[in-house]
Every structure is written in structure tokens, then in C-alpha cells.
Amino acid sequence: MINIHANVAGTPTDVPRLVVEPSGSYPGNEVHADMAVSGRASFHLPDGTPPHGADIYYNKRSVRTVIAMQVGVQLLPGDYEGGLMYEPIPTLDYRSAATSLRPLVIDGTRFATDDGMPWFGLTTTDFLLFNRVLRGEDITEIVQQRKAAGLNEHRVTLLMQFLPGLRGWPILRPENYNEYWTILPQFVDLMAGYGQRVKLTGMCDMQMINRDPAWQRAFLRQVADTLRGKTNWRLEPGNEHDVNGWHPRELERIPGVLMSRGSNSIDKPAYAPGFDWHEFHRRRDWPKHANSDDLGFTAAGSIENTHDVPRPVDDGEPIGFDETYQINRRLTSREDARAIRYSAQAFAAATCFHNTPGLFSDLWGPVVNSCAQAFGGK
């Protein structure tokens, strides 16, 4: 017998299922968990189960794993802890939103909550979500749509000119919204009320907004001071520095804030040394869009022309999704959505469902919604 064990957090509300995908002549298999041991779920598979991908379904969520010692090598009879090829061991999380939104910490090359529970970021692009709240809009339907797809975090911009301008809105910056600093903590609390985290992207379009490094540092410090004590946010200081008018070398580490050093453009190395984690935007040309090698090198600290200590890597902006296919830019396939998520889980601590409606925080259409659900494990 092959016994696969996973940790359980909170009080189970269903019986988890392990579904092994079919492979060649193997028809696949589905087994329900043995929950006899408190805090554990055990899945008993017959000897000879081939090495292949599998999903654990529970609490309207899923966790990806691989039933193999290594690529192509099947398991021998015995007891195995969780993901085998993937770390950390899968945790089936039944905790309430209030509990699961504990502060994040760094655990090697992964994220975890401060009580030791592994956390993997299934983020969605929602650039103008805070901008909509500043404008007095109700974002409930948008957030609930994303959450229903299984996504647990929103990537939200704090400074931006180009996209708001396309909607005829003022530049997203404090000078244009008198209540900016009052509404920002309210927005983060609002997202906590939905049970969601936010990854705040500080600087975009700085070549248009035209503020010097001293202003940029002061802005980020004010963001941190305004959000002290809140546990459902982390900070990406800026997006793609080489095209957005800011530079990681000008940043300062803000004590007590979980933060990266921002991102570089597509397929360009992360800036080293990093802060808490690295951002990496992987290439978008098919089929390399689902290649995760660069994520692994970045997490290990092997970065072009330099070296860094191992840190988590955030697969922050892979190829996106839209209602229509656009070569090397936007996809429409649920299979591609799964491939991006699964490949990220091999080496990254978080990944992002990048999508065209999310640039403006619009509701998804049917194709994007379907792909998001596949990405989120639905």
C-alpha cells in the first residue's frame, strides 16, 4: 500500500479526495481520505500506482501534487509526506478567513503564516481595484468573482497614469485624491473582510508621474506607516523598473514590512540582492510560457551575473488571459491556465492569473472566468 499523508488545519467540513490523473493505459484513480488521525488526512493508493500528477480536492479548493519519487520514478510501498516532488507538504486549510489571514513570513523559499502554515499565493491582476474604491465604487461583485475562482490575493497598483488615463480618470496618485491616505487602510480592511490578501504594487508609470527617488522612498514609507498592524498585505515597491521610471538600487528596506525589491521586465533577471522575495516575470512565447526553470534558478539565488541567498520567488506576471487568443500575449485555454499554475508550484511561492479585464479591475467575461477557475483549481 502507498500511503500519502497531508496536514489538516482547522475543522474539516468534508472528506478530501485525491484524484490521480490518467496516464497512457492507466485509467486514473480517486480515493477518499482516511481522517482517523486528528490534524491529518491519509490517502491509501494501491501498489504500482504510476508516477503522475494528482490533485487533492477539499473545502471547494484543490492542492496540486505529484505521486512520484522523482520524474518518471514510481513510489514503492510505504508512507510518504504530501507532495513528494513539491514542497511544502500540502496543508488542507479549513480555517476561517480571519484565521487564515495571519501575517505572512518567509520560510526558506516559500511563504507561510506566522503560525507555521504554508501559504501559496494564487494572485490575480486587479490593477485599478483601489482606484475604483477611491472613486466611490462598490467592488463587491469583482472581488467575489475572483474569490469564487479560488484566488486568494489581488495585485493592486498604488501609483499609475496610463491605464486610468484610458478610462478618462485622473492620475492615480495622492495629489489627485484628497482621501487617498484615509481610504487606503479602509481598502485593505475591506479586502480582509472578503477573506482576501492584497499585493500592493507601489510604482508604475513613474516616467510619466515624474517623481524623484527621495519622493518614491517617502511614498513607500507612508504606505507602510499607514498600514502598520494590518496582516493581509505585502509590498511590491514597483512594476518592471526598466520601463517604469524607477530603480531597485534607490529603494530602502522598510523594517517590519514584507516586501520585494520590485520586478524587472519579461524574462529579465531579478535585481540582487533581493529583500524578502524576488519577483520574476517569465517569458510569454509558446510553449516556454509554462517553463519554470528560471523560477527555480531565481529561488535558489542563481541570478544572471551575480548570486543571492535562496529566497521565495513570485511568478508575478506570466502570460495573460482574455476572451480572444493573441499570439504570445493572451491565452484562452483552461489547460494553459492549469499548466501555468502547476509549473509555478514546482519552484515559486506565488503565481498570478494575469488577465486583460484585470488591468482595469473589470468583471471577467465567460472565457476568462473559466480559465481563472481552472487556474484556481476549480
Which residue(s) pair with 18 in the sheet?
31, 56
Q: Specify the pLDDT at position 270.
A: 87
pLDDT digits (tens, 9 = 90+) for 295-314: 888 888 777 666 788 999 99
Cα separations in angstroms, 180 against 25, 93, 172, 173, 231 = 59, 35, 9, 8, 20
Residues whose CB is less than 8 angstroms from the CB of residue 176 and which lie 6 or more positions away in sequence, other chains included: 170
Q: What architecture is the 2-93 domain classified under in CATH?
A: Sandwich (2.60)
**Is the pLDDT confidence value at 119 over 60?**
yes
Chain centroid, CA 133 distance in Å = 22
Q: Is 162 helix (H, G, I), strand (E, B) or coil?
A: helix
Going by pLDDT thresholds of 50, 70 and 90, the confidence category of residue 65 is confident
C-alpha triplet 237, 186, 168: angle, nearest 5°: 70
Q: Which residue has the higher pLDDT, 99 or 139?
A: 139
Mean pLDDT of 161-190: 96
Q: Specify the pLDDT at position 70.
A: 57
DSSP letter assigned to residue 362: P
One-letter identity of residue 15: V
Cα separations in angstroms, 192 against 92, 98, 108, 140, 148 = 21, 8, 26, 12, 15
- What share of the chain in percent tops pLDDT 70? 93
Residues whose CB is less than 8 angstroms from the CB of residue 7 and which lie 6 or more positions away in sequence, other chains included: 39, 40, 41, 82, 89, 90, 91, 92
Q: Report the distance separating Cα 257 and Cα 270, nearest Å.
A: 20
Tell me which residue of 30, 5, 187, 199 sits closest to 84, measured CA to CA. 5
Q: Report the distance separating Cα 324 and Cα 333, nearest Å.
A: 10
**Is the pLDDT confidence value at 71 over 60?**
no
Q: Report the distance separating Cα 93 and Cα 117, nearest Å.
A: 9
- pTM (global) more than 0.85: no
CATH code, residues 97-375? 3.20.20.80
Tell me which residue of 265, 279, 262 sits closest to 159, measured CA to CA. 262
DSSP letter assigned to residue 45: E
Q: Specify the pLDDT at position 81.
A: 75
Neighbours of 217 (CB within 10 A): 15
For the chain, domain boundaries = 2-93, 97-375
Written as nine digits, the cell of 288 is 516556454
Q: Would you say the C-alpha torsion 239, 244, 245, 249 has a positive or negative sign?
A: positive
Domains 2-93 and 97-375 share a fold: no
Greatest Cα-to-Cα distance within the chain, rounded to the nearest angstrom: 65
Going by pLDDT thresholds of 50, 70 and 90, the confidence category of residue 341 is very high
Q: Specify the pLDDT at position 52.
A: 75
On whether the CB atoms of residues 339 and 114 are closer than 8 A, the answer is: no
- How big is the chain, counted in residues? 378
**Is the pLDDT confidence value at 84 over 60?**
no
Written as nine digits, the cell of 224 is 507602510
Q: Report the distance separating Cα 152 and Cα 146, nearest Å.
A: 8
